[in-house]
């Protein structure tokens, strides 16, 4: 695992954007796994800037988002499909037929999950998967405990996550959907490259658990340490506890 620590969050976002741009440049048919959340907003802004200055062409890129809330229409302003439209898809030339976000309003959610997995396989698998990390240690919405061989499925969101994500729901955690569809940890581990980005002091403790703690299914992000090509990009604040513990040799 490669760990990059930057002085400032902007440098961490730029590193992530550089890696994504490189993946797009160097593949005739890139397949990206995408995440949502506050961390990714800055990364997508940088990618849009590069598209606008003709440095990046998304026309051959296929994307698969990690997750979606159950019950929210793609047009709902709190859905992840809407988030992606607002922050990336509306501004770049990725053909709509190449965009995949789980459908949280499918009548048969299990069938939707199975089809999502099949579509990833059909695209040749994910080349580069971008990840954030939640306060429960989740990647995607793989709340504790999530088996490392789990696949795309319906999950119940942890109360900690519903609090974390309540900002978009009038700061009322009870308005955050109780369930979501998410790629599984096993699905994520099959991507050829993983890049996890975390910034800010609020992430320092869970980053330490992910990087220094025992590898186990109660902190899904520890799974990335099992991947042969994973990179973690942190700013100084998010790295602070991990660095301290590492110095003590624990
Ligand atoms: C969202 C996702 C989540 C977020 C994580 C961090 O698609 O997969 O795992 O990446 O909750 O969210 P932020 O960036 O808002 O702290």
Closest-CA residue to 139 (of 219, 211, 73, 213): 219
At residue 228's C-alpha, the angle toward residues 225 and 232, to 5°, is 50
Classify residue 141 by burial, with Cβ atoms within 10 Å: 0-12, 13-18, 19+. Answer: buried
Domains of the chain: total: 1
Q: What is the pLDDT of residue 248?
A: 61
What pLDDT is recorded for position 54?
86
9 lines ligand 1 (CB under 6 A): no
C-alpha dihedral sign at 231, 236, 237, 242: positive
Tell me the CATH number at 175. 3.40.50.1360
The low-confidence residues of the chain, meaning pLDDT below 50, are 249-250
Q: Give the count of beta carbons closer than 10 Å to the beta carbon of residue 170.
A: 10
Q: Is 67 in the pocket of ligand 1 (CB under 6 A)?
A: yes
Residue whose entry in the numeric block shows the structure tokens 């062409």: 57
Please state the separation of Cα 147 from the chain's center in Å. Answer: 18
Instruction: Indicate if ligand 1 lies below 6 Å from the C-beta of 36.
Output: yes
How many CB atoms lie under 10 A from the CB of residue 247? Answer: 8
Write down the pLDDT at residue 216: 97
Residue nearest to atom 11 of ligand 1 (CA): 134
Atom of ligand 1 nearest to the CA of 134: 11
Residue 247: predicted pLDDT: 60
* 33 Cα: distance to centroid of ligand 1 (angstroms): 13
Q: For residues 60 and 30, is the Cβ–Cβ distance under 8 A?
A: yes
Neighbours of 97 (CB within 10 A): 7
Domain that holds residue 41: 2-247
């Amino acid at each position: 695992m490669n760990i990059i620590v930057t002085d400032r969050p902007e440098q961490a976002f730029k590193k992530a954007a550089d890696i994504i741009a490189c993946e797009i440049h160097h593949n005739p048919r890139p397949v990206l796994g995408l995440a949502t959340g506050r961390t990714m907003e800055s990364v997508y802004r940088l990618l849009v800037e590069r598209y606008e200055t003709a440095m990046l062409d998304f026309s051959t890129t296929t994307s698969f988002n990690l997750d979606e809330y159950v019950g929210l229409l793609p047009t709902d302003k709190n859905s992840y499909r809407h988030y992606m439209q607002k922050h990336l898809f509306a501004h770049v030339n990725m053909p709509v037929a190449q965009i995949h976000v789980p459908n949280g309003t499918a009548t048969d959610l299990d069938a939707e999950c199975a089809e999502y997995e099949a579509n990833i396989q059909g695209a040749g698998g994910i080349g580069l998967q971008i990840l954030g990390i939640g306060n429960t240690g989740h990647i995607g919405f793989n709340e504790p405990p999530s088996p490392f061989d789990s696949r795309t499925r319906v999950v119940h969101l942890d109360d900690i996550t519903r609090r974390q994500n309540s900002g978009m729901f009038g700061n009322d955690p009870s308005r955050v959907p109780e369930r979501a569809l998410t790629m599984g940890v096993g699905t994520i581990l099959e991507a050829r490259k993983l890049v996890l980005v975390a910034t800010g002091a609020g992430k320092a403790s869970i980053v330490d658990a992910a990087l220094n703690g025992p590898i186990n299914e109660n902190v899904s992000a520890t799974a990335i340490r099992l991947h042969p090509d994973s990179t973690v990009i942190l700013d100084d604040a998010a790295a602070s506890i991990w660095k301290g513990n590492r110095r003590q040799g624990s």
